Amino acid sequence: MMDLSFLGPRVCVIGPSSSGKSTLAVALGKRLGLPVVHLDQWAHEPGTNWNRRPDDVWVKDHDALIQEPAWILEGNYSVCMPQRFRRATAVLWTDLPVTGCLIRYLKRSFRRSPQVRPGNLEGASREVSLSLIRYLLVQYPHNRLRYERLLAEAARPDLHVLRLHSWEALMTWQRQQRLIG
């Protein structure tokens, strides 16, 4: 088992929707004793069906949050990635194939039992979102290039970046770190 202290006290977890970001962030938070923040919960109005808060309002909250000494921030939102990456000590990127993410999303959406999962927005419905499907299939491939550019711009010796390109790599890494059984 690897010592995860190299990740430091401020970790970003990014990747496409339904790629296991929230679950990974929670497991890391428990293991490292760091608070976990799900950016979806900050960027959307609670009690709505994923209605976005105005960027200027929630980004102001985000920028105050990243001044904290320790955190795991899970989520993308490239509008505020540059400042997040400047404060981060590590970035974990679950850059997984979008077809697998789509299948995972659809399975999760059609479950009959209510979902209690990390990162879910309080009060949001479980219905299938065509906009999320479009994001996965159309927008995320473009965002991947943007994230690569933003990470390149943020590159520095003390910023550790781990990019996991497959479900197998993600699961193997989590097992190696004893984040999952």
Q: What is the CATH number of the domain that holds 8?
A: 3.40.50.300
Q: Where are the beta strands (DSSP E) in the chain?
A: 10-14, 36-38, 71-74, 90-94, 160-164
- Tens of pLDDT, residue by residue over 74-101, are 999 999 999 999 999 999 999 999 999 9
pLDDT level of residue 28 (50, 70, 90 thresholds)? very high
Residue with tokens 């993410």: 101
- Among 142, 145, 112, residue whose Cα is nearest residue 126: 112
> Is the overall model pTM greater than 0.75, yes or no?
yes
Residues of the chain above pLDDT 70, percent: 89
Instruction: Count structural domains, the chain.
Output: 1
Arithmetic mean of pLDDT over the chain = 89
| C-alpha of 151 from chain center | 15
CB atoms within 10 A of CB 76: 23
What is the structure's pLDDT at 125? 59
**Does residue 57 fall inside a structural domain?**
yes
Residues of the domain holding 148:
4-176
Q: Is residue 181 part of a domain?
A: no
Confidence category of residue 170, pLDDT binned at 50, 70, 90: very high
